[in-house]
């Protein structure tokens, strides 16, 4: 299992590098986040041993249970964050990709001031690029207001935007959504005057399209770990 996992991880690394090169970009400009949700800690640890430096998890409690058994890595929260899980999330994660409303920013700011007085947390703002009712994320039209609000929180370092486009079997169907997130990022940088270097977009079936459209973080699970467990 471990050898197969490492081979899959390295194959994805090669695909990321090839996509970046084809887009005229430095492969080092793209962070590969290995999404380990539903997989047990021994498998996650094997991925880190095989070279995975960044891990993505959707559920705060699942990540908290795994992390003590996994060697050092950078942990990314890529699933929705509830207020009552915010303190545990701060215990576990180094980066939060899913700040989508001011209440979450307020809660994180309060907890950081109270429990981590010297810490500043990297966050991304999640945008619901497909306007899907079942998905989290701020509406594209509200992203500017959200950005301005979150920037008032000095313990949060806003580094970019994140999105999950509507799923389609055809990876090319994701392209217009990736493009719209990049264009929104560019517009917000100009309007607000704050650099947003990171674009977290693209998963196992469409990450190469995302890289072509400017992704700097891709979140890949199935192509590395295989089908979800449980």
> What proportion of the chain, given as a percentage, has pLDDT over 90?
93
- The pLDDT mean for the chain works out to 96
The average pLDDT across 194-211 equals 98
Q: What confidence score (pLDDT) does residue 193 get?
A: 96
Query: What pTM was estimated for this model as a whole?
Result: 0.96
Q: 109 and 156 in contact (C-beta within 8 Å)?
A: yes
229 pLDDT higher than 80: no
Residues 6+ apart with CB under 8 A from 107: 83, 86
> Which domains can be identified in the chain, with CATH numbers?
2-225 (3.20.20.10)
Q: Token pair for residue 88?
A: 């545990």
Which residue, among 49, 37, 153, 161, has the nearest Cα to 98 in the 3D structure? 161
Write out pLDDT tens, residues 117-144.
999 999 999 999 988 878 889 999 999 9
pLDDT-based confidence at residue 54 (cuts at 50, 70, 90): very high
134: CB partners within 8 A, 6+ apart: none
Residues 163, 169: Cα–Cα separation, whole Å: 17
- What average pLDDT does range 24-29 have in this prediction? 98
């Amino acid at each position: 299992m471990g050898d197969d996992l490492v081979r899959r991880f390295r194959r994805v690394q090669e695909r990321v590098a090839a996509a970046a090169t084809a887009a005229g970009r430095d492969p080092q400009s793209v962070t590969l986040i290995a999404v380990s949700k539903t997989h047990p800690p021994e498998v996650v640890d094997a991925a880190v041993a095989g070279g995975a430096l960044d891990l993505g998890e959707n559920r705060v409690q699942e990540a908290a249970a795994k992390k003590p058994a996994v060697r050092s890595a950078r942990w990314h929260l890529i699933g929705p964050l509830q207020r009552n899980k915010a303190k545990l999330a701060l215990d576990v994660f180094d980066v939060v990709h899913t700040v989508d409303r001011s209440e979450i920013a307020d809660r994180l700011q309060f907890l950081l001031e109270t429990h981590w007085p010297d810490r500043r947390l990297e966050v991304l703002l999640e945008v619901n690029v497909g306007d899907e009712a079942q998905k989290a994320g701020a509406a594209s039209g509200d992203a500017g207001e959200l950005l301005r609000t979150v920037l008032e929180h000095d313990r949060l370092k806003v580094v970019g935007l994140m999105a999950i486009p509507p799923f389609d079997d055809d990876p090319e169907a994701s392209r217009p959504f990736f493009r719209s997130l990049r264009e929104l990022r560019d517009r917000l940088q100009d309007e607000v005057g704050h650099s947003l270097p990171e674009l977290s977009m693209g998963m196992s079936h469409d990450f190469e399209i995302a890289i072509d459209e400017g992704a700097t973080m891709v979140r890949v699970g199935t192509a590395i770990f295989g089908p979800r467990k449980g």
